[in-house]
Structure 1
Amino acid sequence: MKNIRQILFLLACLVSLAASAQWQWTDNDGRKVFSDRAPPADVLEKNILKRPGMTAKTTVNTDAPSPAVSPVAAASGAQNAASAPKLSGIDKELADKKKKTEEAQAAQRKAEQEKVVKAKVENCARAKQAKASFDSGVRVSRINEKGEREVLDDTARANEVKRIQAIMNSDCQ
């Protein structure tokens, strides 16, 4: 009868050890979560309230178990700590991807700026050439919508010179 009591007492102690192997953390909504598995990686370290084999709000020291913790609890705590994901605070792969994305975007912006500058230089050269043609006094003719050739009169010529000068002012800087 004495042995049965000791076995029951031992079983009760083992059940309490299993209950102490629980994780407790606060999720993003502020609710307490209890689990026998480690929290997901997106849970911050400060939100972890309890780890297996440790008391509430203590940190895990995997180098040496504290003397207040029983050897069985220390072994299970070390085992769970070893199986828990290591959170360094910075994900190197994510940082590398972010850096590469930023570099690619910067290169794309630079290429677009170079394309705009090249177009402005080309427009400037064309405007200067057209202005020289209008300033030379030679008659200038165009093809209208019907496909007929028409010579510009003085008002149309003056309007075209103003338009060309505006292009030169904006693109030849």
Structure 2
Amino acid sequence: MLVLLCASSVFSASAHAQWQWVDEQGRKVFSDRPPPSQVPVERIQKRPAGAHGKTTALPATHPTPELASSQPAGRSSGVDKDLQARKTAEQAEQAQREKAKEQEQERKLARTRQDNCARAQAAQTALNDGRLMAHTNTEGERGFMDDATREAERQRAQATIASDCGPASATTPR
């Protein structure tokens, strides 16, 4: 048992080994891994107990997480490029959907204007013929238009023709 206890204490001491050095920007870096090979020996301030004569450096192409966090903000943007690309694509899709929706609304408005124009022109033609025109009043009774009602309907048809038969304007649909 005593041998196992001694062996486990040796292994746990090596697990708590700490390296300490000063990076290029003058900041202290603490790690359980040795510094990269580009760090000069004179900048290493503390080594684990068993590593006095040797430095087992990590390759410079694989920085440790501690080194990455010690880099200045200017060198590492902290932006996930994949996330940014997906976000940009989603924004483009959203803009495209909104544009398609606006175009569909414009097409519906144009069809409505065209239908209103055709009905108003047909009504004006019928009103200008001079024939008797029948209509149904609010009580559901059938009656005939007098001259005043005919003129009012003719003016209403003319106003609809003026607003809906010309080029599209910024007016709201009826």
Q: TM-score by structure 1 length?
A: 0.57
1:38 alignment partner in structure 2: none
Number of the residue aligned with 2:124: 131
2:88 paired with 1:95? yes
Where do 5+ consecutive residues of structure 2 fail to align?
1-16, 28-35, 45-54, 70-75, 167-174
| Paired residue total | 122
RMSD (CA atoms): 3.6
Q: Mapping of 1:94-113 within 5 angstroms?
A: 94-113=87-106
Deviations 1:101-154 (A, max 9, x none): 000000000000000000000110000000000011111111011110111111
Stretches of 4+ aligned residues off by more than 3 angstroms: 52-57, 64-77, 81-86
- Shift in Å at residue 55 of structure 1? 3.2
User: Are residues 1:55 and 2:25 paired?
Assistant: yes
**Tell me, what secondary structure is at the counterpart of 1:55?**
coil
Residue 111 of structure 2 is aligned with which of 101, 108, 118? 118
> Aligned match of 1:141 in 114, 134, 141?
134
In structure 1, distance between residues paired with 2:58 and 2:23: 6
The structure 1 residue matched to 2:155, chosen from 124, 142, 162, is: 162
Same amino acid, percent of matched pairs: 20
3-state SS of 1:142 partner: strand
Gaps of 5+ in 1: 1-13, 21-51, 58-63
Other-structure match for 1:78 = 63
Task: Return the alpha-carbon distance in structure 1 between the equivalents of residues 124 and 26 of structure 2.
Answer: 83
- Amino acid in structure 2 at the alignment position of 1:150: G
Q: 1:74 to 1:133 in 2, by over 3 A?
A: same
User: Which amino acid in 1 is paired with 2:124?
Assistant: K
- Which residue identity is paired with 1:98? Q
- Residue 39 of structure 1 aligns with which residue? none
The 8 Å contact of residues 37 and 57 in structure 2, kept in 1 or not, is answered as no
* Structure number with larger C-alpha Rg: 2
Output the TM-score relative to the length of structure 2.
Answer: 0.57
Matching residue's letter, 1:92 = A
Of Structure 1 and Structure 2, the greater helix share is in: 1
One-letter code of the match for 1:80?
P
| Matching residue's letter, 2:79 | L
